[in-house]
Chain A
Amino acid sequence: MEDVIIVRSLMKSYGTKKAVNNLSFSVKKGEIFGIIGPNGAGKTTTIEIMEGLRKKDSGEVSILGMNPEKDRKVLNHRIGVQFQATSIQKKMKVKEALKLFAAIYNKENTSDEMLKLLGLEEKMDTYFDDLSGGQKQRLTLALATLHEPEIIFLDEPSMGLDPHARREMWNIIRSLRDNGTTIVVTTHYMEEAEKLCDRVAMIYNGELRALDEPSRLVEDISAHFISFRSPDFPVAQLHQMSGVIKVEHDEELDAFKLYTENLQSCSYLLFKIAQEENYHISDYKFERGTLDDLFVHYLQGGASA
């Protein structure tokens, strides 16, 4: 697949703070590409530079073979943008917003198919201000996509949505991808990155920390562990067990996390000791690492996996 977005050695500073520091990645046609990281990691700055709304300090950015700073007028016809925590005029009705944006893009009108997909048919006469959070996001998504752009940029599309609305949003985004659109999405919800994105770039302090398919990123980390609760198991004894890499203990909850290379033999040892010493064990589970763990891992250690 061809690369529709190429970012190389991108740098951007605000005063002395480096918001984006030597960032490089590329996005293939027709994929959902996630940019994940904590608040303030540089996600929005990166996406706004790609949209041509911010000027980069140095580096190279190519969108559909064009330079977003210089060719923004042409690119604006071919990309769609949904902003973070978006707003349109409060007293504008849904149908009026759709009509206005259709006129801006010289389109006849929004397709009924799109409206059905977004579930906005019954809200056509409602003011933007009176829509729910999910409906607002769906409307601004409709405005970003009604000209059938080749690339859609979504900045935190599911911010403030309830779990149901979030899932609906994911389905809409997936169906856009299935129609051949390339989607770049930023998020700080790891679940969103895992379930929605084909590939994710994890950035922290403006630097790229990891870039791969979500499932591979998770596999890469040694975040496989056993979790259990025990009021009386001595922490020191856990550290001495063979095969244990790391022990985390939450004293308030009496909860333990046991990181190990071999879950099975470690479990056997754990229960054997408990049985012999008459320790009590409850809530025992095998756990697989999630992107969340990976995230925390980077936040704490900063080392690369």
Chain B
Amino acid sequence: MKNIATTLLATIVTTACLLATAAHAQDLGISAPPQRAPIVITGATVHTVAGPIIRNGYVVFENGVIREVGAGRAPRTRGARVINATGKHVYPGLIGADTIMGLTEIGAVRATHDSSEAGDITPEVRAAVAVNPDSTIIPVTRANGILTCGVLPQGGAIPGRAAVIRMDGWTWEDLAISADAGLVVNWPNMRPITAWWMQQTPEEQLKRAKERLAKIDEMFDAAEAYADARSADSSLPTDVRFDAMLPAMHGDTPVFIRANELEQMQSAVSWAAHHNLKAVIVGGRDADKCTHLLLRHKIGVIITGTHRLPGRRDKAYDAPFTLPLRLETAGVMWCLASGDETAHERSLPYQAGLAVAYGLPEDAAIRAVTLSAAELLGVGDRIGSLENGKAATLIITDGNPLDIISQIEMAFIDGREIDLNSKQTALDKKYREKYRQLGILPSQQSSGSR
């Protein structure tokens, strides 16, 4: 932050207080208040994502919404805070498309897990209501520029409904951009597994897969009948499961179908087409093998990470690194999620960066963790790019955020300047102080970074 010259106009006092408080609040970061004055970022390289990159550009946002993006001199804005970002870059906030952010805290501690409800078919549960706004993982993740997350429940054939959240707020309602972002379906495993740990025979497994498919089908058919019956007779008692499915069934929200293997995807796509659903594939390890099918049905893919091993011994060592490029080349709509533990969500940009090392154009990689992710999560009209009318959810960086050595210097969610500190930065400060006290580190305040 020290390198960005901020010119504070009307709101100078408030902001200064806020920053000071934030610095001392350690991990108990204060949620940013609503944007009170317009903010103008000038002199920056503006990566709009929706359009071309603007050198020496500006971004104006007010009341949480982007008002203007352009090149050269920024328009004079009354009462605005001007941030001179010369030599800096502005990007839309990055988006983690497939996470359980806020539904988990510590992997080994079961009490902190809220991502998987009991039962095979639980469309009625919503991720949004269980997101812990005070999760320690949220501030750490947003410090790396990830300002929005898709939260997809896990477990069972239909685990529940997804949410899209912003990474700052006092309550889960503050966090929710979309509290019903779509229905999650885990496509049954179509191909028998013969691993050493597998005790079921291939026949048993195939039978199980068939039963699960039938179960999913039955749920959709029954929900259809239920909807008809309800419209004919509104006195019919409510079934929370069917009610939960209707938006997705009517195409108002997407159906996120987890599928990795070719057979799963083929089966899922034809099922989705049959039910006329707005399907999105999540996983897509073999998606490059059925691009024609995905194109034909205009189905997008949330690739769950490049930080994976090739699935098979014979696969090229870089197969996971080049999957994004292969989908991009084929013209399939895709975005990149981390597919990693929630704690590692902060490294999502580096997963996109890895795809760049293996041939993906930089702008495609940026789009994959911004606008494309927003589109596939159904919020592409609100976030994901720097365009007039979109939420002012953006970051200011000293370089490409997909490169590890770049730093995120400022972040805004809906125009609110976000605290980039966390418990982790607080511990850093605390223990550097220990070594200063011991005389091991020099006692200047500046030793935090060299």
Q: Are A and B subunits of one complex?
A: no
State the B residues within 8 Å of A (CB): none
